[in-house]
Amino acid sequence: MKIAVIGAGIGGLSTAVGLQRAGAEVTVFERASEPRAGGSGLSIFANGIAALETLGLSEAFDAVTDAGVEGFAAGQRLADGRWIAQVPNDAVGALRIVDRADLHRILLDALDPGTVLTGSEATVTATDGTLTVEEPGSAGSAVSEHFDLVIGADGLHSRTRTVVDGETVAPRYSGYSAWRGITSVPVDLSGEAGESVGHGRRFGIAPLADGRVYWFAVANMPQDAVFADEKATVEQMFTGWHSPIADLIAATPAEEVRRTAISDLSRRLARFHRDRVVLIGDAAHAMTPNLGQGGGQALEDAATLTVLLGPLLARGRAGNSAEDRAELEAALQRYESLRRPRTQSIAQKSRLMGQVFQLESPLLAGLRNAVISAVPSRLIASQAASVQKWSPPSV
Ligand SMILES: Cc1cc2nc3c(=O)[nH]c(=O)nc-3n(C[C@H](O)[C@H](O)[C@H](O)COP(=O)(O)OP(=O)(O)OC[C@H]3O[C@@H](n4cnc5c(N)ncnc54)[C@H](O)[C@@H]3O)c2cc1C
């Protein structure tokens, strides 16, 4: 089966690894001049770890992450450092914090050389699997190519999504943006990580395996806000917050402090596939990062698609005879029925969580904190576990 993947993000690369290993002839088209990890860190919970295992990537992933993070105190703190909720260490399941650059390297290393074509902008022109591919410097000239399956892994601003849905489903700005960074040196966290909440602001701390720390800072602002100096702005916004927040920002090179406007999709997609085109990752279900699940869900998509296409690929079938065509359609239909409800429900929870944690009014934020501190930690853990529980489908 000849498969095109549009986009070399976490979703596209992990899907390419799974399908190539299962026997497909895979090409990944990436419009950037090199695959970009997007900088900073990523939380991968038990579900993402299970998906990596299904894709045969556990060993490589374990080599760059550390289970030690599970021993850290985590939950929510106030700006002054007092805990309002702590998640019991044993209750949430596995968690790893990975440097995105390491994850990208693992995924690229797992692919056959030449699988990823960079500087290649790909556009789906027909749902029968026809793509046009434009290379940089080609003065707009494009070549047309046919694939047995096209996987749209082209992220939040996906154009493949429009082909599958029939209409443009635009990103929807959440009202807040996030700075992210990784310290250039190890910083002592005294065994404490998690999120600290204020009024319309939040700061998150996550230790990497080598002692460096991935952090994020979220603040309400217009989508088009402009700051002369991103690092100075985040330093100033979180002045007076508990230790070691100021140290973490100070230990991060200014050029590594980047801000992203947080968005999800303005409406749920009614379908994830049409004919020979299927969506994965943010292209299908971009979500706010409040549950730390966008990448994990992309990995679940990759693993699910790999398992469901496995029988066809194992028989070396391209999905072109009437019988194979029906089998391919059934596999894509099952992918959609497994992935659509789960990802859309997580996206909704994530958005709601963002609205609660970004409350600006001191009165409402105080009320929120009181409610959070009253909720039994076992209940918080069981809610988290319901999102983080996943296993691959059986075929
Ligand atoms: C602040 C923040 C924190 C986050 N934290 C976490 C976390 O802790 N844990 C977690 O699991 N997730 C997290 N996420 C979410 C996660 O980053 C995304 O869900 C994930 O990266 C999506 O991967 P993707 O491959 O679907 O899309 P992308 O990474 O967006 O990749 C899409 C790729 O497609 C390429 N492309 C687009 N159009 C074309 C085209 N026409 N032709 C060729 N190439 C094209 C792009 O250049 C890009 O490389 C976070 C997100 C944000 C913003």
Going from N- to C-terminal start, the domains of the chain cover: 2-388
The region of weakest confidence among 56-65, 134-143, 205-214, 292-301 is 134-143
Residue nearest to atom 19 of ligand 1 (CA): 294
Confidence of residue 318 (pLDDT cuts 50, 70, 90): confident
Condensed to tens digits (0 to 9), the pLDDT of residues 88-98 reads 776 667 899 99
Q: Per-residue pLDDT for 256 more than 70?
A: yes
Q: Rounded to the nearest 5°, which phi and psi values hold at 258? A: -120, 145
Question: What's the whole-number mean pLDDT along residues 306-323?
Answer: 92
Best probe residue, ligand 1, of 14, 28, 31 (max atoms within 8 Å of C-beta)? 31
Question: How high is the mean pLDDT of the chain?
Answer: 94
* Amino acid in the structure at residue 49: I
Residue nearest to atom 17 of ligand 1 (CA): 295
How many other CB atoms are there within 10 angstroms of residue 275's CB atom?
16
Ligand 1 atom closest to Cα of residue 120: 43
Measured CA distances, 341 to 270, 316, 335, 344 (Å): 10, 31, 11, 5
Residue nearest to atom 46 of ligand 1 (CA): 7
The DSSP secondary-structure symbol of 238 reads T
The alpha carbon of 37 and the centre of ligand 1 are apart by a number of angstroms equal to 8
Nearest-angstrom CA–CA distance, 209 and 4:
34
Burial pattern 164-202, b for ≥16 Cβ within 10 A else e, equals bbeeebebeebbbbbbbbbbeeebebeebbbbbbbbbbb
* Nearest residue to 220 via CA among 200, 206, 198, 240: 200
Q: Per-residue pLDDT for 253 more than 90?
A: yes
* Amino acid in the structure at residue 85: A
Q: Per-residue pLDDT for 317 more than 90?
A: no
Domain 2-388 has CATH 3.40.50.150: no
- Helix, strand, coil percent content, the chain, rounded in steps of 5: 40, 25, 35
The alpha carbon of 248 and the centre of ligand 1 are apart by a number of angstroms equal to 25
Nearest-angstrom CA–CA distance, 348 and 105:
31
Report helix, strand or coil for 78.
strand
Pocket of ligand 1 (CB under 6 A): 6-12, 29-32, 36, 42-43, 121-123, 153-156, 159, 178, 180, 216, 260, 262, 281-283, 289, 292-296, 298
pLDDT at 92: 66
Condensed to tens digits (0 to 9), the pLDDT of residues 134-155 reads 877 777 788 999 999 999 999 9
Find out whether 152 and 280 touch, Cβ atoms under 8 Å: yes
The alpha carbon of 155 and the centre of ligand 1 are apart by a number of angstroms equal to 5
Best probe residue, ligand 1, of 36, 117, 282 (max atoms within 8 Å of C-beta)? 282
Confidence of residue 380 (pLDDT cuts 50, 70, 90): confident
Q: Per-residue pLDDT for 332 more than 80?
A: yes
Best probe residue, ligand 1, of 13, 33, 42 (max atoms within 8 Å of C-beta)? 42
Ligand 1 atom closest to Cα of residue 156: 30
Percent of the chain with pLDDT over 70: 99
Quick one: tokens of 370?
């009181």
Strands (E), 183-257: 194-197, 201-207, 213-220
Nearest-angstrom CA–CA distance, 56 and 256:
31
Write down the H helix ranges in 120-224: 160-165
Condensed to tens digits (0 to 9), the pLDDT of residues 223-246 reads 999 999 999 999 999 999 999 999
The alpha carbon of 280 and the centre of ligand 1 are apart by a number of angstroms equal to 11
Nearest-angstrom CA–CA distance, 4 and 126:
13
The alpha carbon of 373 and the centre of ligand 1 are apart by a number of angstroms equal to 33
The DSSP secondary-structure symbol of 272 reads S
pLDDT at 141: 81
Nearest-angstrom CA–CA distance, 133 and 136:
10
pLDDT at 91: 65
pLDDT at 385: 82
Confidence of residue 15 (pLDDT cuts 50, 70, 90): very high
pLDDT at 36: 86
Ligand 1 atom closest to Cα of residue 43: 8
Condensed to tens digits (0 to 9), the pLDDT of residues 153-209 reads 999 999 999 999 999 999 999 999 999 999 999 999 999 999 999 999 999 999 999
Question: What's the whole-number mean pLDDT along residues 21-32?
Answer: 97
pLDDT at 142: 87
Q: Per-residue pLDDT for 276 more than 80?
A: yes
Best probe residue, ligand 1, of 28, 30, 108, 215 (max atoms within 8 Å of C-beta)? 30
* Nearest residue to 258 via CA among 206, 200, 217: 217
The alpha carbon of 316 and the centre of ligand 1 are apart by a number of angstroms equal to 31
Which residue do the tokens 């194992």 mark? Answer: 314
pLDDT at 24: 97
For residues 246, 251, 256, 259, the Cα torsion angle rounded to the nearest 10 degrees is -10
